[in-house]
Chain A
Amino acid sequence: DAKTTQPNSMESNEEEPVHLPCNHSTISGTDYIHWYRQLPSQGPEYVIHGLTSNVNNRMASLAIAEDRKSSTLILHRATLRDAAVYYCILRDRGTGNQFYFGTGTSLTVIP
C-alpha cells in the first residue's frame, strides 16, 4: 500500500492561511488522495479529495503536485474550530474500500 508522510504537528495563527503538506512518493496512477480530519473526541470527517487536478470546496483547497508525489491541503483562514488532526490518505483501486490512516498532522490554531 502506498504510504504518506506528514509532519507530526503544525501551528497557525487564527484567520491566517494554513498549508498542510503530505508526501506520497510511491503513489500510483489510480490512487485518489483523500484528506480527513478528526476534531477532539469526534470521529474522522471528510475534508476533500482529488486525483490529478487541484480541487476546491467550501472547507478547503487541495493542491496536487504535477508529478503527484506530494499534495497540500490549504485552509484559507484558520479558525479555532479547525484545530484537529489532519490525515492524508491514498486510496487505490485494489484497496479502495480500505483507509490506511497514518499518524496525521496535529494542527494547533493560536488565537
Chain B
Amino acid sequence: DAGVIQSPRHEVTEMGQEVTLRCKPISGHDYLFWYRQTMMRGLELLIYFNNNVPIDDSGMPEDRFSAKMPNASFSTLKIQPSEPRDSAVYFCASSLIGLQQETQYFGPGTRLLVL
C-alpha cells in the first residue's frame, strides 16, 4: 500500500482565499483523522471520521474550517476564508479500527502558508 496520501504537499495562498487540503487514507481503514501542527501548539487533533461519518469535530478551530469524507477513499479539509494564523502543517492519518491499541498511520502532511 502507498500509505496515506496528501495533496498538495505545499500550499501558499493569500489571506481570504479558500484552501482545500486532500487526503486519501490507506485502503480498508475505517478511521480518518485530521491534525494540525504549529510551533506554538504542537500537534492538535481537528476532527476524525469513522466509516465516513464525522465523530468528533471539537478540535476544529472555528466555522471557517470544514471537513468532509464523501467516500471511504477521500477526505477534504477546507478553510474559507483563510487567515495568516492558519499557517501550519496539516496531517491526515488513518487507522484500521478504533481501539486504543490501534496504530495510526500518518501522511506526509501539507505545509500551508497564508500570506
Residues of chain A within 8 A (CB-CB) of B100 are 30-32, 91-93, 96
Determine how close the nearest CB of chain A comes to the CB of B7; give it in whole angstroms.
14
Whether B107 and A97, one on each chain, are in contact in the complex, defined by CB atoms closer than 8 angstroms, is no
Q: Is the CB of A43 within 8 A of B55?
A: no
CB-CB under 8 A from B42, the residues of chain A are 101-104
Complex interface: chain B residues within 8 A of A97 (CB): 31, 33, 48, 50, 55-56, 95, 98
Residue-by-residue, is A73-91 near B (CB-CB < 8 Å gives 1, otherwise 0)?
0000000000000010001
Of A14-22, A44-52, A64-72, which stretch is located at the interface? Answer: A44-52
Structural contact, B103 and A49, CB atoms closer than 8 A: yes
Contact assessment for A44 and B45 in the assembled complex, using a CB-CB cutoff below 8 Å: no
Given contacts A43-B108, A97-B56, A100-B45, 8 further A-B contacts (CB under 8 A): A42-B108, A46-B103, A49-B101, A51-B101, A91-B100, A96-B102, A97-B50, A99-B104
B69 at the interface (CB under 8 A from A): no
Prevailing SS type, chain B contact patch: strand
Cβ of A46 and Cβ of B105 under 8 Å apart? Answer: yes
Q: How far is the CB of B66 from chain A (nearest CB, A)?
A: 20
Residue B25 at the A interface, CB < 8 A?
A: no
Query: Which residues in B have their C-beta under 8 angstroms from that of A42?
Result: 108-109
Chain B window 23-67, contacts with chain A (Cβ cutoff 8 Å), 1 for yes, 0 for no? 000000001010100000011110010100001100000000000
- Chain A neighbourhood of B91, CB < 8 A: 43-44
> How many angstroms between the C-alpha atoms of A106 and B74 in the bound complex?
33
Closest 4 CB pairs of A and B: A43-B106, A96-B100, A101-B43, A91-B100
Are B45 and A99 closer than 8 Å at their CB atoms? yes
Residues from chain A with Cβ under 8 Å of B33 in the complex:
97, 99
CB–CB B98/A96 < 8 A? yes
Chain B residues, Cβ within 8 Å of A46? 103-105
